[in-house]
Structure 1
Amino acid sequence: MKLIIKGEYELYKREIELIFNLFKEEDDEIIFNNQSDDKNTINFLYQIKDGFVQTDVEVNVDEKHFFVSHKRKLTDTNDKTKKKLIKQVISFVWLQTLERLTGKKHDWGILTGIRPTKLYHKLLVQTKSYDKVNEILKRDYLLKQNKILLLQEIVKRQLSVIPDLYSLKNEVSIYIGIPYCPTKCSYCTFPAYAINRKQGAVLDFLQALHLEIDLIGKWLKESNKKVTTIYFGGGTPTSLSPNQLNDILKKLAYWVDFHTVREITVEAGRPDTISKEKLAILKKWGIKRISINPQTFSQRTLDIIGRKHTVEETIEKFMLARKLQINNINMDLIIGLPGETLVELINSLNQIEKLNPESLTIHTLAFKRASYITKNRGEFEIINRDEIVKMMEYSRNWTKEHGYSPYYLYRQKNMLGNLENIGYSKENNESLYNIISMEEVQTIIGLGSGAVSKLVPPNSETTSRIPNPKEPKVYTENVKELTIKKIKELNKIFLE
């Protein structure tokens, strides 16, 4: 399907493209051209009149001819508010147009952002009523009932797990990014460099990370700032040696009293990086939550996506962690991996049932621009939209039947089926960091290569980001200067 877009679209092309991408099949495209003579045209007109914003769309496509119109009352003449309302009205009428044109329904309505639960929290604070929030999501955002109820369930769970979720802005959490893995998976765009070929660079990186921990640790002490959670990600932190892991934790513990931190998580995502010695180090420092991420229990798929470990190794390392009494383990699965269907998902969930981890995160494959799988999509067998929806529905039912409840959710661009990633857990085993990070309720200080600091001022809803360089060499060469700048920004939101 090729559609020619005409009319008053110039300021809102991005919104038109985002909604179109929700329906787009492989060969579909839209072309913005007011001069085109093509007969397959969609004409946009928006106006502000008598206190209302109105958008009208006229459709002439493949002998289909119809009009769609929508308007909303303009309650604030502020330019920013006005522009936001116009975007919503255009997205609303465009979604209705495409649903009518294609016969497809989009459960997430006009929401294209990655944090729909954050919107739910915001509306809940404003209305203090779940019913009112649900009504707004249905009326103004066109969410379908299944997604509204999913969001409500997650938000209620989050507020049960962290009752003071809305009053954490004067504390901080820490994210530490270790940019190394044994190999890079074909779907991955995270900072993840093959560690075996870079031992010299690893030592330089660790020296820089220790410096950054010292500088930020000193600021934490001087500002008397409490740390809520700590999360080690990457990459795969357990790619480091036992001594290297121990030295990082020792350095961090010098500045932060681990006994006052609500949760510390270490990603041990790749089973081929886990050893008895490394798990013992984590236990020594009181770390109670780790992730061991199979992504799938199909050996064929693991080989295709470049994960150099076996299914048996995943099971073996999980049992090793259990033997060492690590009793809060998360596992990740990705639905939609190359060549996989509902059959492979059922097999993976059967294995999950046997292992019985405390939490399970179900990801939907996303075609990230920089990943190998996206750049070489023709090499991989990818299932269709209907199959991926069935797989997601199966996983939702399976988790419910096995005592797992959803507690956080986020979406990404270019996800198969326009679905979502959902974190499930058994009661009292939720990741506090995941909730805090996704809902952006407090500042997260990012340390290490590729880590992003998200600054959330205590008295403002405005957030800002300070990324560390992804490339370890660039990070290593600039860490002192970048950290001093970061501390200046932290002082602005907390001390000035």
Structure 2
Amino acid sequence: MNIIVRGIQDKRYERNLQLIADLFFEDSTLAVTEEKDTDAFNIIIKVEIGQGTIYANASTEEPKLSASRTANYISKSTEKESFRQNKNVVSHVFLSILQQYTGMIQKWGVLTGIRPTKLMHKQRMNGAPAQETRTHLKEQYLITDEKINLMEEIVDRQLTMIPDLYKIQDEVSIYIGIPFCPTKCAYCTFPAFAIQGKLGKVSSFLAGLHYEIQETGRWLKERGVKITTIYFGGGTPTAITAEEMDALYEEMYRSFPDVEQVREVTVEAGRPDTIFPDKLEVLKKWNIDRISINPQSYTDETLKAIGRHHTVQETIDKFHLSRKHGMNNINMDLIIGLPNEGLAELQHSLNETEKLMPESVTVHTLSFKRASQMTLNREKYKVAERDEVEKMMDLAQKWNKDHGYVPYYLYRQKNILGNLENVGYAKPGEESLYNILIMEEVQTIIGLGCGAASKFIDPETGKITHFANPKDPKSYNEGFIDYTRKKIEHLETIFPQKKPESTHM
């Protein structure tokens, strides 16, 4: 679909309008121009600013469609704020035209960002009543009641689990990235290098990671900054040996302040083909009992198609093995819309999940990430149509509710099937605190390891500064000292000097 938008002239609108167009069409191109293209879908948008109001109108000639939007306008605003107001009304009428043209209703309205619940948290932090918040989300972003209800349930759950969520800026969480996997999944864009034949890289990578942990821990102790949660991700953190895991967790306890007081430590053991008794014993030794074992699907043909070299039975066996070794909080991921899967296959996966009843179930919707093998070879992968994907999400939502799981975090992605979302469900009290903190962006997350991303959040202003370690082990190994120094410099700018509290050495 080729779309031409005339009338607004300002090229700054293009990116946002393109993102909205992508919600409706798989392969769309969009240009803001005054040149009519008879081979394109031409939309004319006009914006008028009056005293205290802003008005936008969109129309098309063939077929004849129209939409309008009037909103309050703050005249004494900066140029940036003024453009934001213009962009909102333009987005409204553009979305309305495309909904009329296609017959599709976008339940998330004009939202294209990945963290919708942040909008509701912002309203609550400002003291807005619940009904006022609902009205704001419906009018400002065109979000449907269905999605607002989901947001409300999630925000309530998050504040139950972390009552001090809005006052936690003076602490940090730690993300530790292990960039190795047995094989790389076709949909994956995370740092994940096949571990076979890379043992030299693993050992040198771990030396750099130990250094990052030591130096970061030293700084946190000196400043008296507490750690809220620690999360080992990747890749697959259990892809390394039991001995390497043992040394890494020992370093964590030795270097970080008051690890015994950290609210939660999680290790993603996502690939069942990396879980063995010796590794589970190491986890138990260091008081870690929250892990992920991710089936993604309970259909062997699907696992083979997406590059996961383990079987469904191995997932089940490793779940029971983990229970036997004291893993009391297990998360399992399922992905909606994997190749050749529809409602029947999802129902089968849910039936198998019911036999295990993990503490939490994260339901992802397949996203065609730009650099994944699945996206680069998309013609090879047959996925469900939009209507069926929506029915699959409804089925997963109902299953979780019927089995006592509650939604507690949510995020969206570009190129996600059906313009849907990823939702984490958990038994009440078993929610992942780290998942809440990383999604709501209320405190600094320090990323250590290959491909680890840091978010430095100023406790006073809320301004977010991003910093990422390199994604490949070679570059990481060559520069980890420099990356550690730069992260500590960022920390220096947002945390004031204060005396350290008691620490366990």
Structures share fold, TM-score greater than 0.5: yes
Greater CA deviation, 258-267 or 10-19?
10-19
Greater CA deviation, 157-166 or 128-137?
128-137
Q: Secondary structure at the match of 1:329?
A: strand
Tell me, in whole angstroms, the C-alpha distance in 1 between the residues paired with 2:207 and 2:49: 58
Matches within 5 A, 1:269-284: 269-284=270-285
Tell me, in whole angstroms, the C-alpha distance in 2 between the residues paired with 1:258 and 1:211: 18
Tell me, in whole angstroms, the C-alpha distance in 2 between the residues paired with 1:353 and 1:330: 13
User: 1:67 Cα deviation (Å)?
Assistant: 4.7
User: 1:91 Cα deviation (Å)?
Assistant: 1.1
User: 1:4 Cα deviation (Å)?
Assistant: 2.3
Matches within 5 A, 1:85-484: 85-256=85-256, 257-484=258-485
> 1:233 touches 1:266 (CA, 8 Å); kept in 2?
yes
User: 1:290 Cα deviation (Å)?
Assistant: 0.3
Counterpart of 1:53 in structure 2 is 54
Tell me, in whole angstroms, the C-alpha distance in 2 between the residues paired with 1:287 and 1:69: 53
Greater CA deviation, 217-226 or 7-16?
7-16
Sort the Cα spacing of 1:37 and 1:93 in 2 relative to 1 into closer, same or farther, 3 A. Answer: closer
User: 1:197 Cα deviation (Å)?
Assistant: 1.8
Q: Secondary structure at the match of 2:49?
A: strand
Tell me, in whole angstroms, the C-alpha distance in 2 between the residues paired with 1:166 and 1:349: 35
Identity %: 51
User: 1:358 Cα deviation (Å)?
Assistant: 0.3
Q: Which runs of 5+ in 1 are unaligned?
A: none
Counterpart of 2:494 in structure 1 is 493
Q: Secondary structure at the match of 1:66?
A: strand
Deviation string 1:1-29 (CA, Å, 9 cap, x unpaired) is 443222224121111111111111x4554
2:482 maps to a residue whose letter is E
Tell me, in whole angstroms, the C-alpha distance in 2 between the residues paired with 1:336 and 1:266: 26
Tell me, in whole angstroms, the C-alpha distance in 2 between the residues paired with 1:351 and 1:190: 27
Sort the Cα spacing of 1:65 and 1:251 in 2 relative to 1 into closer, same or farther, 3 A. Answer: closer
User: 1:31 Cα deviation (Å)?
Assistant: 4.1
User: 1:284 Cα deviation (Å)?
Assistant: 0.6
User: 1:94 Cα deviation (Å)?
Assistant: 1.2
Tell me, in whole angstroms, the C-alpha distance in 2 between the residues paired with 1:46 and 1:196: 59
Q: Secondary structure at the match of 1:434?
A: helix
Greater CA deviation, 41-50 or 464-473?
41-50
Greater CA deviation, 236-245 or 33-42?
33-42
2:317 maps to a residue whose letter is E
Tell me, in whole angstroms, the C-alpha distance in 1 between the residues paired with 2:181 and 2:224: 35
> 1:72 touches 1:89 (CA, 8 Å); kept in 2?
no
Deviation string 1:122-143 (CA, Å, 9 cap, x unpaired) is 0111233222111111111111
User: 1:158 Cα deviation (Å)?
Assistant: 0.5
> 1:359 touches 1:426 (CA, 8 Å); kept in 2?
yes
**RMSD over equivalenced CA pairs, Å:** 1.4
2:292 maps to a residue whose letter is S
Sort the Cα spacing of 1:460 and 1:384 in 2 relative to 1 into closer, same or farther, 3 A. Answer: same
Sort the Cα spacing of 1:184 and 1:392 in 2 relative to 1 into closer, same or farther, 3 A. Answer: same
Sort the Cα spacing of 1:27 and 1:254 in 2 relative to 1 into closer, same or farther, 3 A. Answer: closer
Task: Determine whether 1:5 maps to 2:22.
Answer: no
> 2:67 touches 2:93 (CA, 8 Å); kept in 1?
no
Tell me, in whole angstroms, the C-alpha distance in 1 between the residues paired with 2:140 and 2:201: 51
Greater CA deviation, 251-260 or 448-457?
251-260
Tell me, in whole angstroms, the C-alpha distance in 1 between the residues paired with 2:261 and 2:230: 11
> 1:70 touches 1:93 (CA, 8 Å); kept in 2?
no
Greater CA deviation, 429-438 or 32-41?
32-41
Deviation string 1:98-138 (CA, Å, 9 cap, x unpaired) is 11222210000111100001111001112332221111111
Tell me, in whole angstroms, the C-alpha distance in 2 between the residues paired with 1:120 and 1:159: 12
> 2:22 touches 2:28 (CA, 8 Å); kept in 1?
no
Tell me, in whole angstroms, the C-alpha distance in 2 between the residues paired with 1:385 and 1:489: 43
Deviation string 1:131-179 (CA, Å, 9 cap, x unpaired) is 2111111111111010000000000000011101111000000000000
Tell me, in whole angstroms, the C-alpha distance in 2 between the residues paired with 1:369 and 1:240: 28
